[in-house]
Structure 1
């Protein structure tokens, strides 16, 4: 060790002891003691052990050695391929270099102004409440790199998010653990930056987490529901075409009005009838009269999206053009029965059920009558036509 490195190491040790004494921290500094480097390497490796007790024991032993283990911990945080070892190494580094962290987080949760990297960004997009602060602390403890990246560049955020994705995948698929609230935020927050790339696989991972209990609890939380819905709304509008129908269906299940721009874009981008009909359902549910005009180009589309038989055995088919007619009617504030969909009821989340807006395959007259009504709506002459009983 050269003279400068020796001085820096011992200066860090003196500062840590001083801070720990003031904050009444429980970190014991044994940095002046010799330690077995091989044993330290074993303990660092055990930070990623499957057993909780083994991970905690290894962390405790490393904490007892104090700042002297900072170099091997920093090396592990930078070089290991194990996301758990990387995460816990960074957490130990933070603990060893911030002896007053617990005191700071306690003050922060009490509503005090405590400077934390990343808090300003999270506060600007989610507001300031006890629930948001508690979620920020959870994120700080489990995805500290994501928190730090919020004040950095798009590249910093992209790297941090991918590190978080690695940790989440290990826990979800290898250890079969449920995602946490902080796991969801670790992807949502960096993903608000349009310069941070999101792969189709990342989209699928996020959708799966949001559909699970943890995501639904965030959605229903009185303090967090609104801010989280806003983050999710921004995120879903970056959806790839490959995941588009699944994304729109999810947005409808959460009743997110922010899905409308994505739905309108889908009308231009998608080629499959299923994706287009799903987009039109979103517009019917949340769109305005102006939004409804975007679907008019599909009024003559005869692709079949659903079929069933009536109670009398009559074959009913729902064409893409029928979906467009139902969408225009609902976007103009009309009941489906008013334009000729006699058996259709408005669905509380999906606007309508495709099978319920079909017409007899061997009798075009009913479809033609509804089309006449829809054309009048688009021309602004709806009042000149009688309303269907």
Structure 2
């Protein structure tokens, strides 16, 4: 119930000094002048009248009947009645108050605020970021940056731990936690070792994993950023490249539309030349990494073709077969051709023989490091001789059985180019071997007994 304020003479009395009263002419009736002897009597009457009036007002019934006025609601009820917006505003104010306490004057207050912020966690990140952006206090900014970095690291490490624990639930959560994981999983598979490798890539090259969800332009930009990071680390900081660096260079290339330069591909070769010894012994990682390498090899640039084919043999990448067959069809370059033929001798199959037929009449000299001398005569190694040696290996025929008496097989590169030839005195042996090999190219089975060297024998 609202009661209008009651103006009584006592409300008008203002203390002027001890023992004396003065009147406010704007409020209530005037009393006699304080110098008047009746002043005290007047004041007493005013007080009595005020008390009587208040008693009379309290005895009247309320406007709603004889019921007494309703008591004030309890505090809990008031709280429940407050709109949600007010509660949210209160929480936001509390958050800001906590963050701003990082700038408190005492060390104890600042440390207490930091502890509370870290316990609250990532929900305070927006306020911390705004303080960092807007504050003029360098000390407050410094502490806010520390708190934000600490809670971000802690939150990330907690998610990483859950991710590495495996399970379908974490796979679903990882879609939100770690951009690009589901795409990477298509190429790498899923295992604890692969997840650990993905986390390393994500931390070292976040733009690469993010770009897996985006387009070709973003992947190209991420690839260039990754190769620059690796180059700077190697050349300026003396940091050895890691397996994560190599995988970061390969992941964008799963998009065949992504174009990279010669230097980029050479960096891939350099990184994996360093990493091969360790990763090839890891049964959980070598298979997934091999898949990425073979995807890139198949689309590698012609300028690096010889090196790519060479390393496919060094790293036991059976995908080198596909690249070798395409190289034989696409190029006339002698070094490329002979390296492709060596690669086929490692990974090729008998049905590949027909692809080599045109090379059996290529009499151009092969590229050799140092000529081999037999009976005081140098071996003359031609492209045809290299193709002939490859065909013998594909058809499971010892090269010596078709006149290539000096041929040396090699566990890594198939055979030695320098020894795969004939001397000038063995031209008839060469012609007989070529005619037999042409039949193999036509699909006939190998019959090595038909070959009888007619040149000088030892």
RMSD: 3.3
CA change 1:195–1:300 in 2 (3 A) is: same
Partner of 1:365: 428
**Matches for 1:225-244 after TM superposition, within 5 Å:** 225-244=286-305
Residue of structure 2 equivalent to 1:386? 450
Matched, 1:21 2:93: no
Which structure has the bigger radius of gyration? 2
Match for 1:105 among 160, 177, 183? Answer: 160
Q: Quote the residue 1:63 is aligned against.
A: 145
Q: How far did 1:63 drift?
A: 3.2
TM-score (norm 1): 0.76
Cα distance in 1 between the residues matched to 2:293 and 2:342: 19
TM value normalised by structure 2: 0.65
Please report how far the alpha carbon of residue 104 of structure 1 lies from its aligned counterpart in structure 2 after TM superposition. 0.6
* 1:208 equivalent in alignment to 2:290: no
Q: Distance in 2 between matches of 1:39 and 1:178?
A: 38
The residue aligned with 1:118 is 180
Cα pair distance change 1:35/1:183, threshold 3 Å = farther
Could you tell me how far 1:181 is from its partner in structure 2?
Answer: 1.6
Q: Distance in 2 between matches of 1:192 and 1:349?
A: 27
Task: Show the counterpart of 1:317.
Answer: 380
Aligned to 1:178: 240
Gaps of at least 5 residues in structure 2 are: 1-88, 100-113, 454-458
Report the counterpart of residue 275 of structure 1 in structure 2: 336
In structure 2, how many angstroms separate the alpha carbons of the residues matched to 1:265 and 1:370? 25
The change in CA–CA distance for 1:295 and 1:65 in structure 2 (over 3 A counts) is same
Over 3 Å counting, the alpha-carbon distance change for 1:335 and 1:384 in structure 2 is closer
Q: 1:235-285 CA distances to partner (integer Å, 9 max, x unpaired)?
A: 111111111101100111011110122112212332321111101111121
Q: 1:20 to 1:368 in 2, by over 3 A?
A: same
Q: Does structure 1 retain, via aligned residues, the 8 Å contact 2:212–2:252?
A: yes
Q: Distance in 2 between matches of 1:264 and 1:38?
A: 65
For residues 292 and 39 of structure 1, do their structure 2 counterparts lie closer, same or farther at Cα, with a shift above 3 Å needed?
Answer: farther
1:35–1:164: structure 2 CA closer, same or farther, 3 Å change rule?
A: farther
Deviation at 1:365? 1.6
* Map of 1:355 onto structure 2: 418
How much does 1:378 deviate?
Answer: 2.6
Q: Which has the higher contact order (CA 8 A, sep 6+)?
A: 1
Q: Partners of 2:260 and 2:350 in 1: how far apart?
A: 32
How far apart in 2 are the matches of 1:244 and 1:30? 50
**Matching residue of 2:392:** 329
Q: Counterpart in 1 of 2:317? A: 256
Higher mean C-alpha deviation, range 307-316 or range 239-248: 307-316
Displacement of 1:165: 1.4
The equivalences for 1:31-110 within 5 A come to 32=131, 34-35=135-136, 63-64=145-146, 66=148, 100-110=155-165
Counterpart of 2:252?
Answer: 190
**Structure 1 unmatched runs, 5+:** 1-6, 41-59, 67-91
Count residues in correspondence: 333
Task: Verify the 8 A CA contact 1:339 1:387 in the aligned structure 2.
Answer: yes
- Partners of 2:409 and 2:415 within 8 A in 1: yes
- Alignment partner of 1:344 is 2:407: yes
> Counterpart of 1:290?
351
Q: Is the aligned partner of 1:154 residue 2:252?
A: no
Contact 1:19–1:100 (CA under 8 A) maintained in structure 2: no
CA distance in 1, matches of 2:372, 2:242: 45
- Note the C-alpha offset of 1:377: 2.1
Q: Distance in 1 between matches of 2:355 and 2:364?
A: 18
Which residue of 1 is the match for residue 207 of structure 2?
A: 145
